[in-house]
Amino acid sequence: MGTPALFSPLTVRGLTLKNRIVLSPMCQYQAEEGHITDWHVAHHGHFSMTGLGLAFVEASGVTRNGRITYGCTGIWDDSHIAGMKKIVDMYHARGTMCGIQIGHAGRRASCERPWQGAGSIERDDGPEAAWQIIGPSAIPEREGYPVPHVLTKSEIADLVTAFEDAARRSLKAGFDVIEVHGAHGYLLHSFFSPISNQRTDEYGGSRQARMRLPLEVASAVRAICPDDMPVFYRASCVDGLQGGLVIEDAVALARELKTVGIDVLDCSSGGMAGPATLSKNRITPGYMVPYAETIRRDAGIATMAVGAIIHARQAEDIIASGKADLIAIAREMMADANWPYHAAQALGVDNPHAVLPEQYAFYLERRAAVLDRNA
Ligand X SMILES: Cc1cc2nc3c(=O)[nH]c(=O)nc-3n(C[C@H](O)[C@H](O)[C@H](O)COP(=O)(O)O)c2cc1C
Least spacing, CB of residue 184 vs ligand X, in Å: 6
Amino acid identity for residue 327 in this structure = I
Among the residue ranges 44-52, 203-211, 302-310, 363-371, the one whose residues contact ligand X (CB under 6 A): 302-310
Distance between CA atoms of residues 300 and 112, nearest Å? 39
Cα four-point dihedral sign 240, 323, 343, 43:
negative
Q: Quick check: 134 and 191 in contact, CB under 8 A?
A: no
- Cβ 109 to ligand X, closest distance in Å? 13
250 binds ligand X (CB under 6 A): no
CB of 338 to ligand X, least distance (A): 15
Residue 282 touching ligand X (CB under 6 A): no
In the region spanning residues 304 to 323, those forming contacts with ligand X, defined by CB under 6 A, are 306-309
- Give min distance, CB of 280 to ligand X, in A: 11
Site string for ligand X, 111-150 (x = CB under 6 A): ----------------------------------------
Alpha-carbon distance 127 to 353, whole Å?
Answer: 48
Residue type, 197: N
Q: Does 24 bind ligand X (CB under 6 A)?
A: yes
Alpha helices, DSSP H, located in 173-211: 187-192, 207-210
Q: Is 3 exposed, middle or buried (0-12, 13-18, 19+ CB in 10 A)?
A: middle
105 near ligand X, judged by CB under 6 A? no
* Active-site residue flag, 291: no
Q: Which of 25, 51, 136, 185 binds ligand X (CB under 6 A)?
A: 25
Does 330 bind ligand X (CB under 6 A)? Our answer is: yes
Residue among 219, 279, 217 nearest 244 (CA)? 279
Question: What is the number of other CB atoms lying within 10 angstroms of the CB of residue 283?
Answer: 13
Is 332 among the residues that bind ligand X (CB under 6 A)? yes
Q: Residues 32 to 51: which contact ligand X by CB under 6 A?
A: none
From the CB of 137, what's the least distance to ligand X, in Å?
A: 23
**Are 291 and 328 spatial neighbours (Cβ–Cβ below 8 Å)?**
no
Tell me which stretch binds ligand X (CB under 6 A): 128-136, 196-204, 326-334, 362-370.
326-334
CA distance 211 to 190: 10
Nearer to ligand X (CB atom), residue 43 or residue 210: 43
Tell whether residue 324 is a contact of ligand X (CB under 6 A): no
In 3D space, the residue among 113, 119, 149, 145 whose CA is nearest the CA of residue 133 turns out to be 149
Residue partners of 355: CB distance under 8 A and separation at least 6? 7, 50, 51, 340, 341, 344, 349, 361
CB 29 to ligand X: min, Å: 8
Nearest to 35 by CA among 3, 78, 96: 78
Question: Count of residues binding ligand X (CB under 6 A)?
Answer: 21
Within residues 57-86, the interface with ligand X by CB under 6 A covers: 58-59
Please tell me whether residue 27 binds ligand X under the rule CB under 6 A: yes
Partners of 328 in beta bridges: 22, 306
Give me the catalytic one of 91, 186, 203, 233.
186
H or E segment to which residue 74 belongs: none
| Closest separation in Å from C-beta 265 to ligand X | 13
Distance CA 168, CA 249 (A): 30
Examine residue 245 and tell whether it contacts ligand X (CB under 6 A): no
Which residues are marked as active site? Answer: 186
Binding site for ligand X (CB under 6 A): 24-27, 58-59, 101, 181, 183-184, 234, 268, 277, 306-309, 329-332
